[in-house]
Structure 1
Amino acid sequence: MKIRHLLTGLAIMASFMAASAFTTLAAPAKGRFEEVTEHAITGWAYDSDEPDEALNVNITIKNEETGKEVLNQSVKAGEFRQELLDDDKGNGNHGFTLNVDWPSFSDGSYIIEATVDGRTFSNTRTYTYGNSDTAKEEADSKASSSVRSLGIFKTTGYCPCKSCSGGWGRHTSTGAVATAGHTIAVDPSVVPYGSKIMINGVVYTAEDKGGGVRGHHIDIFYDTHSESKHHGVQNTEVFLVAA
């Protein structure tokens, strides 16, 4: 009888531990920045376990040189984004906008971070306001490279989702793993693979091609569909960079 009771107790304990483990494995909330401009910071936050819940996002801005925190503010991620709805993120009401008065800060480079439910956004951003040593160093670095204009190109955005990549995800035609802020898709007959291309001050590498990328057209890789849609269609002068 004692053995039977002992086995029953062990079974109940195992069930409780299994239930606790299942709870622990719940998907964590996550979020990303979309854009940082001279007026505002935008992004989104989402919890798949609470798909229609508007989450609180805590945003901090620090001076990159001094480490001083100049802003620490919470904002509700409850704005509607059609692209989030298209990505099956609940009801799509998971975007946020934080207006920033940059002129109230001193000139310099600032690090922008955010957390949602204690989880840090993976795409920390940097924004330079006014004149700073960092901005000067970047300008000097660009000036030290050989830069040649390739003319005006149509630029668009794409991401790993099925509608953008046709099931290829982060796989590219060159075998490289597509990375935001680095990978672009090109027409190889116009821009050879491996070329370093500067677009709006960012240097990318030609690592991919797309079915709709022809001639003077460049597709810029983003981590999320909302970021790629936000890029839209732009006509931009692009430059070939050679160290």
Structure 2
Amino acid sequence: MKTAFTAIVGLLIVILIGYWCQQAHQKPTNSPVEQTPTVTILMNVSAYCPCERCCGDFADGITASGVPAEGYVIAAPRQYAFGTLMTVPGYADGRPVKVLDRGGAIKGNRLDVFFATHQEALNWGRQYLKVEVIHGM
């Protein structure tokens, strides 16, 4: 009798452990979507390109984070870590862009957005825009 009871308890433990392991690997189906915290800040947004007029001695096409300056890049003050995502109205079709660069005049609420040519940077000019900073990505 004692052996049968021990066998049943052991079997139940194995079944429960299997069930718990299965549950741990399943994704919840009705859980709420986690929101990424964002903050919107009015920023002075200018533009730059990889030319010597814009970058001076740093006109080598490499960002301060060490990656090539191509596509969409944001230069932001040090308070924003490399990799921080920002959405700048009118830039990158409204998609979030990573902070990958710095700039000598980029302090406080200033940003630079990258363009491939000097003319594109001039066309952007300087704009005061509500920039969305996406935290926790």
Which of the five TM-score ranges fits, normalised by the shorter chain? 0.5 to 0.7
Tell whether 2:36 aligns with 1:146.
Answer: yes
RMSD: 1.9
1:145–1:167: structure 2 CA closer, same or farther, 3 Å change rule?
farther
Deviation at 1:161, TM superposition (A): 0.6
SS of residue paired to 2:123: helix
Tell whether 2:66 aligns with 1:175.
Answer: yes
Distance 2:123 2:70 in 1: 17
Alignment-mate amino acid for residue 68 of structure 2 = V
Contact kept? 1:183, 1:221, Cα under 8 Å: yes
Contact kept? 1:162, 1:168, Cα under 8 Å: yes
Deviation at 1:149, TM superposition (A): 2.0
In structure 1, the partner of 2:125 is 232
Report 1:153-192 matches (<5 A).
153-169=43-59, 170-180=61-71, 182-189=72-79, 191-192=80-81
Higher helix proportion, which one?
Answer: 2
Which 4+ stretches in 1 moved above 4 angstroms? none
Which region of structure 1 is more displaced relative to structure 2, 143-152 or 171-180? Answer: 143-152
In structure 1, the partner of 2:99 is 206
Deviation at 1:147, TM superposition (A): 4.9
SS of residue paired to 1:164: helix
Distance 1:185 1:226 in 2: 18
Report 1:70-85 matches (<5 A).
none
Q: Deviations over 1:130-155 (max 9, x none)?
A: xxxxxxxxxxxxx9862512410110
Q: Which has the larger radius of gyration?
A: 2
Q: Percent identity?
A: 25
Distance 2:88 2:67 in 1: 20
Q: Deviations over 1:53-77 (max 9, x none)?
A: xxxxxxxxxxxxxxxxxxxxxxxxx
Distance 1:158 1:183 in 2: 10
Deviation at 1:194, TM superposition (A): 1.2
Deviation at 1:203, TM superposition (A): 1.3
1:192–1:230: structure 2 CA closer, same or farther, 3 Å change rule?
same
Contact kept? 2:41, 2:133, Cα under 8 Å: no
Distance 2:87 2:114 in 1: 14
Contact kept? 1:161, 1:167, Cα under 8 Å: no
**Which one has more relative contact order, counting CA pairs under 8 Å at least 6 apart?**
2
Higher strand proportion, which one?
Answer: 1
- Runs of 5+ in structure 2 lacking a partner? 1-32
Give the structure-2-normalised TM-score.
Answer: 0.65
